[in-house]
Amino acid sequence: VFDSLADAGPVPALEGSSGNPILALLPGSRKQEVRAGLPALLEASRILVSHHPGLETWISCQRENLIPEIDAILADHSQVKVHVGDARALQARARLAIVCSGTVTLETAWHGIPMVVAYPANQLQRSVYRMLAVAPYFSLINLFAGRELVPELLFEPGDGAAIARLATPLLDDQRASELTQELKTIRAEKFHPGASQKAARQ
């Protein structure tokens, strides 16, 4: 992951941005993830934008075959924009990101962007996770940090309000600045070739 980030070259342009602060939604790269998670991420966005009207919501669509899935879910969200392609265009420019768990959390952390890591899970799945979990966190960025550096949540599908509650404090300028600095420190200390394999062995 870190080799590819270091060698990725310039961040792509974000066509269509108004220059307003960006709330980036990264629902995953598979159709099932988008169907299960994106409606709640959009509800969280609606709540956050209602309190912070300057925010501009963008969805990262990393694969073109996801466009019909996203368009169908966006039927009632005309103000939301979609970026198709390299997620770095959003990850590098976001004021705040709501991210499904996976390597995308490390990619977002690489850019020093405050985030909430949220993954859809029903009550049974959450119970099984609590029973079987061998680590205190499920997000890779918190595992790398060894503490809850960013808020993480296994949310009931559709429960955007729960995500918004975790995300709201990160829109405070001071808290956002502190978290950005913490993410940059983690990047300098731990984001290096071989780090992913080392973390997996721990």
Query: What confidence tens digit (pLDDT) does each residue in 142-193 have?
Result: 988 889 999 999 888 788 999 999 999 999 999 999 999 999 998 888 776 5
pLDDT, tens only, 38-76: 999 999 999 999 999 999 999 999 889 999 999 999 988
Q: What three-state secondary structure class fits 25?
A: strand
pLDDT classification of 202: cutoffs 50, 70, 90 = very low
Query: 190 or 107: whose pLDDT is higher?
Result: 107
- Long-range CB contacts for residues 169-174, cutoff 8 Å, separation at least 24: 170/96, 170/114, 170/115, 170/116, 171/48, 171/52, 171/95, 171/96
Computed over its alpha carbons, how large is the radius of gyration of the chain?
A: 16
